[in-house]
Amino acid sequence: MSTNSPDRIRKVSIIVSRGSLDGVYPGLIMANGARMEGIEANLFFTFFGLYAVMKGYQDKIRIATVGNPAMRVPDAKGFPLPTLLGALPGMSAFATRMMRKEMEKLDIPPVSEFIEMIHDAGGRIYACKATVDMFHLKPEDFVPQVDKVLTVGEFYELSAGAQIIFT
């Protein structure tokens, strides 16, 4: 496809609503990939996804082992992890450590570094006003890369002409 093609994606707005590693990383990877391709990228963090842009929390995000029917041991083709085992104390921390080790091997940065990279590359980072109000958060609760707290209406306005992606 030629870069002048009218079908070429020029802008993406990515909504991140889940606060687990498998909820946050897809949005970060997609936004980073968009910026690498010269595509405008907006990240909108809402509900528990806000932890990815909150001071003191962003590098403490973990894998959810309970209620994840795709969880396998020791890898993606391994044995299914029964939900009951996922509830054992320490299982989430163990799964998170394993996942982070694999991500390090692939040179995938921690959440804080990824947020910085995306912002430095021109990606815009927003927090959802309704969630900020509901969780009683203040601007100082967020990392400096958060450009603004937006209402949903404002998010839709800046997303005009964008592909909207919900992770």
The number of CA neighbours under 13 Å toward the Cβ of 73 is 12
pLDDT at position 75: 66
**What are phi and psi for residue 150, nearest 5 degrees?**
-120, 150
Encoded amino acid at 129, one letter: K
CATH numbers and ranges of domains, the chain: 10-59+110-167 (3.40.1260.10), 62-109 (no CATH)
Lookup: tokens for 13? 């707005």
Residue 56 region, left (φ>0) first, then alpha (ψ -120 to 50), else beta?
A: left
| pLDDT value, residue 2 | 46
pLDDT digits (tens, 9 = 90+) for 75-97: 667 766 666 666 667 777 888 88
| 119-157 residue pLDDT tens | 999 999 999 999 999 999 999 999 999 999 999 999 999
Dihedral, 33, 145, 114, 22 alpha carbons, nearest 10: -90
Phi-psi region of 84 (alpha: psi -120 to 50; beta: other; left: phi over 0): alpha
- The predicted model scores a pTM of 0.86
pLDDT for 1: 44
Contact residues for 120 (Cβ-Cβ < 8 A; gap 6+):
none
Helix (H) or strand (E) holding 31: helix 21-36
Average pLDDT over residues 12-27: 95
Share of the chain above pLDDT 90, in %: 66
Return d(Cα 40, Cα 164) in angstroms, integer: 12
Strands 79-80 and 163-166: unpaired
State the pLDDT at residue 18.
Answer: 94
How high does pLDDT run on average in the chain?
89
Instruction: For residue range 25-64, list pLDDT tens digits in order.
Output: 999 999 999 999 999 999 999 999 999 999 999 999 988 7
